[in-house]
């Protein structure tokens, strides 16, 4: 075999390689530019700006809020949830992640258009689907997109003497020590009067192994127990389930629109009220006590969506 390549041939190969690389680089720049342009055109909905919309004039009579998880771009179910929330007169609403399928700009835009149209103060916790790309991998672009639209993924707001903390669990599939330290300050100050929202539930709870979040989950649960935090709401698993440990009730509300985990029977859940059905939560605070009810939604069928 002749391994020799002439200088002219080598020169031609180098030129072709450089041309190919130039085309690849230019294509990448064009794609990135288009994504950047798309992102700058997306509507903003910062969580901190929603605080100014809260009305505390009726605090003495109590207040209520809605919680929904795993909407997954199911507009029909989401619109029903919004209609019922408005009809119930809730003070605000919280989505506990996975309102997109692949973190695409158009999916973010669809979600924001819906929550803007709801005319409710609306707070948004990120889910793993907000941070992923269409090929199913974690995407830095998705995380940046969330921050551009909603601001910091960890946030705290207060209403009528209660504190509400949104936590970013998908970024590291865990809570970092810095997150736990900040959370502890809030729970301590509002002992017995705080609520926590996250996308992942603590996966160390029985039957919630699919919740992914194990690292520092025990420390998180110890904090909630120590400061008598009455409720923690999460999603990710597409069912309704609850688990009580000490003064804390942990709730999975993952039935906002994604494909239901219909294979989870009573043996794989923790409460007789649990199941795979579309729903959201309405929580009510009166005389210092928080209770909630499950609101079932129409059982729409749609394309399967993975966790």
- Rounded distance between C-alpha atoms, residue 172 and residue 231, angstroms: 23
What does DSSP say about strands 63-68 and 279-286: parallel, antiparallel, or unpaired?
antiparallel
- What pLDDT does 23 receive? 46
CB 38 within 8 A of CB 109: no
Helices (H) and strands (E) in the chain, counts: 7, 11
- Which stretches of the chain score pLDDT less than 50? 1-7, 9, 13, 23-25, 27-35, 37, 301-304
Superfamily of domain 46-296: Metallo-dependent phosphatases (3.60.21.10)
Q: Give the CB-side neighbour count of residue 77, counting CA atoms within 13 A.
A: 27
- What pLDDT does 142 receive? 83
- What pLDDT does 140 receive? 81
- What are residue 34's phi and psi, to 5 degrees? -65, -40
Cα–Cα distance list, 159 to 51, 90, 91 (Å) = 8, 13, 9
pTM of the model: 0.85
- Rounded distance between C-alpha atoms, residue 232 and residue 249, angstroms: 6
Domain boundaries along the sequence of the chain: 1-41, 46-296
Q: Which of 171, 128, 125 is nearest to 150 (CA)?
A: 125
């Amino acid at each position: 075999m002749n391994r020799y390549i002439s200088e002219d041939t080598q020169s031609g190969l180098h030129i072709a390689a450089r041309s190919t690389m130039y085309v690849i680089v230019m294509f990448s720049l064009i794609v990135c530019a288009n994504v950047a342009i798309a992102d700058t055109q997306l509507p903003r909905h910062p969580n901190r700006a929603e605080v100014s919309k809260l009305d505390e004039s009726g605090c003495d009579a109590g207040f209520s809020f809605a919680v929904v998880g795993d909407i997954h771009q199911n507009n029909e179910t989401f619109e029903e949830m919004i209609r019922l929330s408005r009809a119930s007169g809730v003070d605000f609403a919280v989505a506990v992640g996975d309102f997109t399928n692949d973190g695409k700009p158009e999916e973010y835009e669809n979600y924001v258009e819906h929550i803007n149209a709801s005319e409710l103060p609306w707070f948004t916790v990120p889910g793993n689907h907000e941070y992923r790309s269409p090929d199913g991998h974690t995407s830095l672009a998705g995380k940046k997109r969330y921050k551009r639209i909603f601001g910091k993924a960890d946030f705290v707001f207060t209403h009528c003497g209660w504190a509400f903390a949104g936590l970013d669990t998908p970024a590291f599939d865990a809570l970092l020590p810095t997150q736990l330290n900040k959370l502890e300050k809030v729970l301590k100050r509002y002992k017995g009067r705080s609520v926590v929202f996250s996308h992942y539930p603590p996966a160390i709870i029985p039957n919630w192994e699919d919740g992914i979040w194990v690292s520092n989950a025990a420390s998180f649960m110890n904090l909630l127990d120590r400061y008598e935090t009455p409720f923690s709401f999460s999603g990710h698993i597409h069912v309704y389930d609850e688990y009580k440990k000490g003064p804390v009730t942990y709730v999975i509300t993952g039935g906002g629109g994604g494909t239901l985990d219909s294979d989870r029977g009573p043996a794989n859940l923790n409460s007789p009220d649990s199941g795979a059905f579309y729903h959201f939560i309405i929580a009510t605070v009166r005389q210092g006590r928080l209770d909630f009810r499950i609101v079932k939604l129409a059982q729409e069928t749609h394309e399967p969506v993975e966790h």
